[in-house]
């Protein structure tokens, strides 16, 4: 017999290391040959799209196209430390460091343009599309490419540093401000439970994620889809089955993970409520996207068959045992 149920899961998640731990990111911005802009930072790319998003933050600050940025994050001899790619912190932390560095770099470029153009001050100078010009006399202008030639032997370069603000919790009272900022989300699912076989099938899902501001909406949706798939495996498939310290399901023929055939088209909703301490309002969502999915699935199973599952994954054999115990 097949029964349907719906469930909701909600969560909030603190960004960064938290609890007063020093959370520092650094970035270096340099004018390169040909007028390209080099951004050097130890923000490791592990597939989450940080190179794209962080380049976009730099491009927005300097009013240039992302293709004019050379983003270096792999060579430790060239880049400063930006902390680990963990705790959903890179967009917020390193994004702030890059924005700070680019703002300082902008001032250095304006000063250089003033000198090369023989102007009295930087007042009225506008930076756009790789050029700096007087907004009331556009004929007076100089390009990044020209500046790179002039300063070839002493390239214009600045460093930006950002330290996240957190407070260590009081060990006696448990009070404090361990994280800032937080991100929020909610997920709703509809499931169908086969009480004869114990199989659980996801029929529909809607997922709303707070991003602060979505610098790259496609990447945000990709993270949301990936988080849903990982949590689906956590809820229904992936079982190490440890017996006396030994992993019994130690190969993919036994340790099951969701495939494309197990995923559904999730209705993703991006919620934008810009965070005023973040670069252009953007917050990280790397880990938070997995959190509400499994609770939503478990709640939907309860709604369908009236039993609370306290052990995951909800394999058919486990669900049938719980149903039998209830009966």
How confident is the model over 205-226, as pLDDT tens digits?
A: 999 999 999 999 999 999 999 9
- Residue 175: inside a domain: no
**Does residue 235 sit in helix, strand or coil?**
helix
Structure tokens at 167: 């407070």
- Residues 138 and 240 both lie in one domain: no
- Residues 102 and 205 both lie in one domain: no
Total domain count, the chain = 2
Residues in contact with 258: Cβ distance below 8 Å, sequence separation at least 6, in sequence order: 229, 232, 233, 236, 237
- Residues 131 and 153 both lie in one domain: yes
| The residue to which tokens 């909800």 are assigned | 314
- Residues 218 and 124 both lie in one domain: no
- Residues 187 and 253 both lie in one domain: yes
Active-site annotation, residues: 287
- Residues 150 and 190 both lie in one domain: no
- Residue 173: inside a domain: no
Other CB atoms within a 10 A radius of the CB of residue 236 amount to 25
Where is the domain boundary, 163, 197, 229? 163
pLDDT of residue 326: 86
3-state helix, strand, coil in the chain (%, to 5): 30, 25, 40
pLDDT of residue 76: 87
- Residues 226 and 141 both lie in one domain: no
pLDDT of residue 176: 87
User: Could you state, in chain order, the average pLDDT of each consecutive group of 10 residues for the chain (327 residues)?
Assistant: 97 95 96 96 90 96 96 91 93 97 98 96 96 95 97 95 93 90 97 96 98 96 96 95 92 92 96 97 95 98 96 94 91
Cβ pair 283, 211 in contact under 8 A? yes
Considering all CA atoms of the chain, what is the largest pairwise distance in Å, rounded to the nearest integer?
A: 89
pLDDT of residue 244: 92
- Residues 53 and 111 both lie in one domain: yes
- Residue 176: inside a domain: no
| The residue to which tokens 């004019």 are assigned | 68
Output the CA angle 71-26-93, nearest 5 degrees.
90
- Residues 55 and 9 both lie in one domain: no
- Residue 247: inside a domain: yes
Cβ pair 182, 19 in contact under 8 A? no
- Residue 125: inside a domain: yes
Bridge partners of residue 3, in order along the sequence:
193
- Residues 198 and 260 both lie in one domain: yes
Q: Tell me the pTM.
A: 0.92
CATH number for the domain spanning 293: value is: 3.30.365.10
Taking the C-alpha atoms of residue 53 and residue 270, their distance in angstroms, rounded to an integer, is 16
- DSSP structural state of residue 170: P
Q: Which domain holds residue 78?
A: 24-163
Taking the C-alpha atoms of residue 327 and residue 309, their distance in angstroms, rounded to an integer, is 15
Nearest to 50 by CA among 289, 212, 222: 222
- Residue 33: inside a domain: yes
Residues in contact with 147: Cβ distance below 8 Å, sequence separation at least 6, in sequence order: 31, 35, 109, 112, 113, 116, 132, 156
- Residues 10 and 31 both lie in one domain: no
- Residue 177: inside a domain: no
Peptide bond into 313 cis (omega under 30): yes
- Residue 172: inside a domain: no
- Residues 141 and 108 both lie in one domain: yes
Bridge partners of residue 209, in order along the sequence:
185, 270
Taking the C-alpha atoms of residue 135 and residue 309, their distance in angstroms, rounded to an integer, is 66
Taking the C-alpha atoms of residue 224 and residue 287, their distance in angstroms, rounded to an integer, is 10
């Amino acid at each position: 017999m097949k029964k349907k149920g719906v469930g909701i899961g909600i969560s909030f998640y603190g960004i960064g290391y938290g609890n007063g731990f020093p959370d520092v990111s650094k970035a270096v911005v340099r004018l390169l040959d040909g007028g390209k802009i080099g951004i050097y930072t130890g923000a490791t790319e592990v597939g989450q799209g940080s190179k794209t998003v962080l380049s976009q933050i730099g491009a927005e600050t300097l009013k240039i196209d992302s293709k004019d940025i050379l983003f270096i994050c792999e060579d430790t001899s060239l880049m400063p430390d930006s902390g680990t790619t963990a705790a959903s912190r890179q967009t917020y932390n390193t994004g702030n460091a890059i924005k700070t560095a680019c703002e300082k770099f902008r001032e250095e470029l304006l000063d250089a343009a003033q000198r090369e153009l023989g102007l009295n001050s930087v007042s009225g100078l506008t930076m756009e599309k790789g050029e700096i010009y007087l907004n009331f006399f556009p004929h007076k202008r100089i390009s990044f490419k020209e500046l790179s030639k002039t300063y070839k032997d002493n390239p214009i370069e600045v460093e930006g540093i950002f330290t996240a603000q957190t407070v260590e919790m009081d060990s006696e009272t448990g009070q404090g401000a361990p994280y800032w900022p937080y991100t929020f989300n909610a997920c709703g699912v509809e499931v169908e439970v086969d009480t004869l076989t114990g199989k659980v099938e996801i029929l529909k899902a809607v997922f709303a994620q707070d991003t602060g501001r979505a610098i790259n909406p496609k990447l945000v949706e990709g993270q949301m889809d990936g988080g849903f798939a990982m949590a689906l495996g956590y809820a229904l498939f992936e079982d190490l089955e440890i017996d006396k310290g030994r992993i019994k399901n130690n190969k993919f023929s036994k340790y099951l993970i969701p495939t494309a055939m197990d995923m559904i088209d999730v209705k993703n909703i991006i919620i934008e409520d810009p965070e005023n301490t973040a670069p252009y309002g953007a917050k990280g969502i790397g880990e938070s996207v997995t959190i509400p999915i499994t609770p939503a699935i478990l709640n939907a199973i309860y709604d369908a068959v009236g039993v609370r599952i306290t052990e995951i994954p909800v394999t058919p054999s486990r669900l049938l045992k719980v149903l039998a115990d209830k009966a």
